[in-house]
Chains A and B, each alone.
Chain A
Amino acid sequence: MSEIQQTTRDVNPDILLVETPFQRFMADFLEDRVAVVSLGVLIGIIFIALFAPLISPMDPYDLAKVTILNGKLPPGSQSMDGVTYWLGTDGAGRGLLSSIFYGLRISLGVGVASAVVALCIGASIGLVAAYYGGRTDTIIMRIVDIQLSFPAILVALVLLAVLGKGIDKIIIALVIVQWAYYARTVRASALVERNKEYVEAATCLALGDRRILFRHLLPNCMPPLIVVGTVQTAHAISLEATLSFLGVGLPITEPSLGLLIANGFEYMLSEKYWISFFPGVALLITIVSINLVGDQLRDILNPRLQK
């Protein structure tokens, strides 16, 4: 017993710092002002998207409340029944602020859903490629290369032309054009991790391939995956907006920001700029804030930049 006590005392000043990797990460993140501001904005946007029905001044899709008589009111004007429309109204008399809140919900929902699905599929495929190597890897990476050599928007256009409109259809299309980014990212880090001794130890302990892949390799490939995940979420949102603007994305019953911009576009030249402009600004803020958060994540998670 006394021998044990003696031998446990290999010096280690660190030992007092009982912090998890996550706590360390948060401390790094909060040090950066841009990161904090963009994260704040992003959290605000997510909050709006989640609670749009509760915080919107009106329900823009309640036909009983929307009247064409209030159509195309400029920002800040009051309707006949005494409601102030801070961002104006669109051609059908819907308050733009409320439309944007609801639109954010759809845009963000589509972006996050497609990113999550693409991440799960892409990460699994990339892990398998890296872990098994050889022919499996060659075939998978060829497919990834081919996939990435086509412009995403073009592939998505063709897919939607075949699949038709709808939230599920556009999510499928976005997953198909985006899984390859995740596969490539995960493969690159898994190739490094795979050769580390803890993976050999896991093999030696006969933990089984699936457990080694998803419990041991995957958690260690997460940092770059999270970064790519945020950037690709922003990309998915702008792709969806583009597709909806072009009229092949979402149906008119599910107006995302892209569709709102498209709806107002015809009025742009008749000085009723706000119908397109404000949804555009909302889209821009969303995408920029996600990208800024993604950049900060990359800086913090990149071991080469770590102090």
Chain B
Amino acid sequence: MLEIKDISKRFVKRLDVAAKIANRLGASAKEEVVHAVDGVSIAINKGEVVGLVGESGCGKSTLGRMVAGILEPTSGEIHYKGNAVAAKTGKDAAEAALQIQMIFQDPFASLNPRMRVEDIIGEAPVLHGIVAASEKVSYVEQVMLRVGLDPEYRRRYPHQFSGGQRQRIGIARALAVKPDFLVCDEAIAALDVSIQAQVINLFMDLRRDLDLTYLFISHDLSVVEHISDRVVIMYLGRIVEVSPTDELFEKTNHPYTTALLNEVPRVEMRGLDYQPISGEIPSPLDPPTGCHFHPRCLHAMDRCAAERPELREISPGRLAACHLNDDK
């Protein structure tokens, strides 16, 4: 249903006038380029829940924003149901793209503090003609019920709700435009542990009832484990491994995935060698050559520093990008 073809996103920090003048005079300030997402391709099927996992700063949010049409890719294409997804800057391009909505991490920053809940939820559906203005209130009440909010609170402001409730408001806002694909960017990371499970359950109920497809972003593999059908692992802007969830937890392929999995404290792993990932995450401004992971990889070879490993199929439905797979 969703097909991402070789998309990249570069953020360029342009030189200001002072630096330009300094350069004229012989200084060598360079434009800083962050390769936030670097040649990523994945296809997501209808009804699937795909977990996107990686350390902070590896480009998960950037990828999610491009899928949701908030950011324009620097290169590459995203096709949804066969149509290209354009960034939603122009209003016309938008209507079709309402089908992909995003749930955000921060339950405080993601709701406009100056709007009442009924406007936060009801603004877009009325504007796009999904409901008549006269039916806004009853529509909003219906959506609020759907996500487990008391409709009586519809005239309140976001600051009058708890974190979990705010996140439900954000979910209601997205659902109100009848999407069929949700990008959830660390959607439970900022919540109390006791509330995380409730919100995850809500996501799963919605998936069942509304036939939704999810791209579920998290830095934490254990969150994704219970809800995803497939897991995509990213490292410094690139996909390093794609695998059905159960197979991944049975046996990892990429050394980075192995290291990530070892970081998750797991009951069945107690007593085994605990090997946290050594070393810092390299700066995305200046990523390592070849395989981005080689400075931290226990299995690094000469070739790893020189040559970028391609993402290849290693068994049906599983992909990985590591030179170790070539020797087998």
**Hey, which bits of chain A sit against chain B, CB under 8 A?**
3-4, 7-8, 10-12, 14-15, 17-18, 20-21, 196-198, 200-209, 211, 216, 219-220
Contact B160 A201 (CB under 8 A): no
Q: Please give, as numbers and ranges, the residues of chain B lying within 8 Å of A204 by CB-CB distance.
A: 68-70, 88, 100-102, 174
Contact A4 B95 (CB under 8 A): no
> What total of A-B pairs shows CB separation below 8 Å?
104
Contact B88 A206 (CB under 8 A): yes
In the complex, which residues 102-120 of chain B have their Cβ closer than 8 Å to any Cβ of chain A? 102, 104-106, 109-115
The answer to whether residues A216 and B98 also contact, given A203-B70, A203-B88, A205-B124 and a CB cut-off of 8 A, is: no
Give the contacting residue for A216; candidates B105, B112, B165; CB below 8 A.
B112
Min CB–CB distance B182 → chain A (angstroms) = 11
Q: Please give, as numbers and ranges, the residues of chain B lying within 8 Å of A208 by CB-CB distance.
A: 91, 94, 127
Partner-contacting stretch, out of B134-142, B145-153, B241-249, B304-312: B145-153
Min CB–CB distance A41 → chain B (angstroms) = 30
Contact A197 B109 (CB under 8 A): yes
Q: Please give, as numbers and ranges, the residues of chain B lying within 8 Å of A206 by CB-CB distance.
A: 88, 91, 93-95, 97-98, 124, 128
CA distance A20 to B115 in the complex (A): 10
CA distance A23 to B95 in the complex (A): 38
Q: Which residue of A lies closest to B173 (CB)?
A: A201
Give the secondary structure class of A's interface: helix
Q: Please give, as numbers and ranges, the residues of chain A lying within 8 Å of B202 by CB-CB distance.
A: 7
Q: Please give, as numbers and ranges, the residues of chain B lying within 8 Å of A205 by CB-CB distance.
A: 98, 101, 123-124, 173, 177
Min CB–CB distance A283 → chain B (angstroms) = 36
CA distance A189 to B89 in the complex (A): 22
Cβ proximity bits B82-98 to A, threshold 8 Å, 1 near / 0 not: 00000011010111011
Contact B106 A12 (CB under 8 A): no
Q: Please give, as numbers and ranges, the residues of chain B lying within 8 Å of A219 by CB-CB distance.
A: 112, 114
Q: Please give, as numbers and ranges, the residues of chain A lying within 8 Å of B123 by CB-CB distance.
A: 205, 207
Q: Which residue of B lies closest to A210 (CB)?
A: B91
Min CB–CB distance A36 → chain B (angstroms) = 26
Min CB–CB distance B154 → chain A (angstroms) = 12
Q: Please give, as numbers and ranges, the residues of chain A lying within 8 Å of B128 by CB-CB distance.
A: 206
The answer to whether residues A220 and B160 also contact, given A200-B65, A201-B104, A204-B102 and a CB cut-off of 8 A, is: no
* B interface, size bucket: 35 or more
Contact A12 B161 (CB under 8 A): yes
Q: Which residue of B lies closest to A201 (CB)?
A: B110
Please tell me if B162 contacts chain A, counting CB pairs below 8 Å. Answer: yes
Q: Please give, as numbers and ranges, the residues of chain B lying within 8 Å of A196 by CB-CB distance.
A: 109-110
Please tell me if B198 contacts chain A, counting CB pairs below 8 Å. Answer: yes
Identify 16 new A-B residue pairs, CB closer than 8 A, beyond the known A10-B164, A206-B98: A8-B148, A10-B162, A10-B198, A15-B153, A15-B160, A15-B161, A18-B156, A197-B110, A198-B111, A198-B113, A201-B174, A204-B88, A205-B173, A205-B177, A206-B128, A220-B112
Min CB–CB distance B260 → chain A (angstroms) = 26
CA distance A220 to B108 in the complex (A): 14
Give the contacting residue for A201; candidates B97, B102, B114; CB below 8 A.
B102
Q: Please give, as numbers and ranges, the residues of chain A lying within 8 Å of B162 by CB-CB distance.
A: 10-12, 14-15
8 A-B residue contacts at CB 8 Å? A4-B148, A10-B165, A21-B114, A196-B110, A200-B65, A204-B68, A206-B97, A211-B127
Q: Please give, as numbers and ranges, the residues of chain B lying within 8 Å of A4 by CB-CB distance.
A: 145, 148
Please tell me if B255 contacts chain A, counting CB pairs below 8 Å. Answer: no
CA distance A267 to B55 in the complex (A): 79
CA distance A12 to B167 in the complex (A): 14
Contact A201 B127 (CB under 8 A): no
CA distance A17 to B162 in the complex (A): 13
Min CB–CB distance B32 → chain A (angstroms) = 16
Q: Which residue of A lies closest to B162 (CB)?
A: A12
Min CB–CB distance A27 → chain B (angstroms) = 15
Min CB–CB distance B165 → chain A (angstroms) = 5
Min CB–CB distance B162 → chain A (angstroms) = 4
CA distance A204 to B115 in the complex (A): 17
Please tell me if B159 contacts chain A, counting CB pairs below 8 Å. Answer: yes
The answer to whether residues A207 and B165 also contact, given A21-B157, A201-B102, A201-B104 and a CB cut-off of 8 A, is: no
Give the contacting residue for B104; candidates A10, A18, A200; CB below 8 A.
A200
Min CB–CB distance B208 → chain A (angstroms) = 13
Min CB–CB distance B199 → chain A (angstroms) = 9
A-B residue pairs, 9 tightest by C-beta: A206-B94, A12-B162, A197-B110, A10-B164, A205-B124, A7-B148, A197-B104, A219-B114, A196-B109
